[in-house]
């Protein structure tokens, strides 16, 4: 389990928004390891996992409203049912997932979840994670 600080930026919902955000991060040598967005009619919120979230929050503030959220990251096997297993573990632990996104590379996947009470969720999911790594 890897707690991470997710950077969120609300920008105008137009064709240039993603390019401006990513170009700004590139210009400051900030690498994106995962990205997703939540679209609304006039605004979109881009959610980012980056290698330097504190710098990202600073360099992005001229482009839109910036906030951050702690999320939990899990490395899982890239196989059928991996996310279902995490979802069941959260349900059993009483953890409500607000947002989820994943990225895969070969035989592994990184899954990020935004939840209430992150410390409680992390503690509740330790046994599930240990069981997953035993079967890797």
DSSP characters over 65-93: EEEEEEEEEEEEESSTTHHHHHHHHHHHH
Q: What is the pTM of this model?
A: 0.86
Query: pLDDT by residue (tens digit) across 82-109?
Result: 999 999 999 998 999 999 999 888 999 9
For the 72-134 domain, the top CATH level (class) is alpha beta
Name the residue ranges covered by the structural domains of the chain.
Answer: 2-70, 72-134
CATH topology match: 2-70 vs 72-134: no
**In the CATH hierarchy, which fold is given to the domain comprising 2-70?**
VC0802-like (3.30.2130)
Where does the pLDDT of residue 72 fall: very low under 50, low under 70, confident under 90, or very high at 90 and above? very high
Is pLDDT above 70 for 136? no
């Amino acid at each position: 389990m890897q707690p991470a600080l997710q950077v969120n930026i609300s920008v105008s919902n137009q064709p240039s928004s993603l390019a401006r955000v990513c170009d700004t991060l590139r210009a400051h040598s900030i690498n994106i390891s995962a990205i997703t967005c939540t679209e609304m009619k006039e605004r979109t919120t881009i959610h980012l996992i980056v290698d330097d979230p504190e710098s990202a929050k600073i360099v992005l503030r001229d482009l839109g409203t910036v906030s951050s959220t702690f999320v939990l990251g899990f490395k899982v096997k890239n196989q059928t049912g991996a996310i279902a297993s995490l979802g069941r573990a959260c349900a059993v632990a009483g953890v409500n997932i607000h947002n989820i996104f994943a990225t895969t590379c070969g035989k592994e996947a990184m899954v990020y979840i935004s939840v209430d009470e992150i410390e409680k969720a992390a503690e509740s999911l330790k046994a599930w994670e240990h069981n997953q790594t035993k079967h890797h």
